[in-house]
Amino acid sequence: AALALSAAAAGSADYLTAESWDAAVAGKVVFVKFAAPWCRYTKRMQPDWDKLAATFARHDEVLIAEVDCTGGGLSLCDDVGVPRYPTIKYGDPHDLKDYTGQKEFEAMRDFVQSLESKCGPSRLHLCDASQAALIEEYTALTPRERHQMIREQEAVAEKLEADFQRWVQEQQAAVDERQRDHKARSEELRTEIGLLRLLLAKARGSDL
């Protein structure tokens, strides 16, 4: 499928489908909006998005693109995972990450500018030696080996998160116990101090 190049020239983003994706993103770092044209949130941000697309329309390394999840881009949205409209993803086309920043033009422009120096499989010239070696190692794997490694790494990540949450709960339990002890001791001290002040005042009264 042909890209909407005329739309890009006019200042709006390219509309990509699963068929046009690989050719369009080759050698690029991407900033992609996955959306539904009828969505009110999509409509609300469209002027800022079109301005962003115009800003980077002729950029050699950055692609601002758009996918219609209710039209020709439906299968692509299913592949990458789109929980809501609009969803913006960025980075290397083969390792997209969720954009969680503001959706105003200035915020998105500044973020996209920060992507220009990012290393990735399609941008090896920006990688240091260790990054390039890791990419080379993973590139040599078969698809089956990559799937297996992803499952293993996801299991490690889940355990890491579970261990951290357990640690947080333990720390919170310790803090709660310390707070209870602190409150109880503070109340005891206030009671003792109050009693001492009362007795002191009473003694002074009897001395008059």
The whole-angstrom separation of Cα 34 and Cα 104 is: 16
The number of angstroms, rounded, from the C-alpha of 158 to the middle of its chain's C-alpha atoms is 17
Contact indicator for 99, 68 with CB cutoff of 8 Å:
no
Q: How does pLDDT run across 155-207, given as a tens digit for each residue?
A: 999 999 999 999 999 999 999 999 999 999 999 999 999 999 999 888 887 66
Query: In this predicted structure, what is the pLDDT of residue 14?
Result: 59
Amino acid at 42: T
Within 8 A by CB and 6+ apart from 117, the residues are 126
Question: Hey, what are 101's tokens?
Answer: 């920043």
Q: Per residue in 38-64, is it b (16+ CB within 10 Å) or e — as a string?
A: eeeebeebbebbbbbbbbbbeeebbbb
Q: State mean pLDDT over 24-33.
A: 89
Of 46, 69, 16, 34, the C-alpha closest to 4 is 16
| Mean per-residue pLDDT, 71-93 | 89
The CA R_g of the chain, rounded to the nearest whole Å, is 29
**Among candidate residues 135, 56, 64, 54, the one with its CA nearest the CA of residue 99:** 64
SS3 66: strand
pTM, rounded to two decimals: 0.57
Q: Both ends of the chain: CA-CA distance in Å?
A: 103
Match 């800003």 to its residue by tokens.
55
pLDDT class of 52 with cuts at 50, 70, 90:
very high
Q: What pLDDT does residue 145 have?
A: 92
Mean pLDDT of 139-144: 90
Helix (H, G, I), strand (E, B), or coil: what is residue 100? Answer: coil
Yes or no: say if 90 and 97 are a contact pair by the CB < 8 Å rule. yes
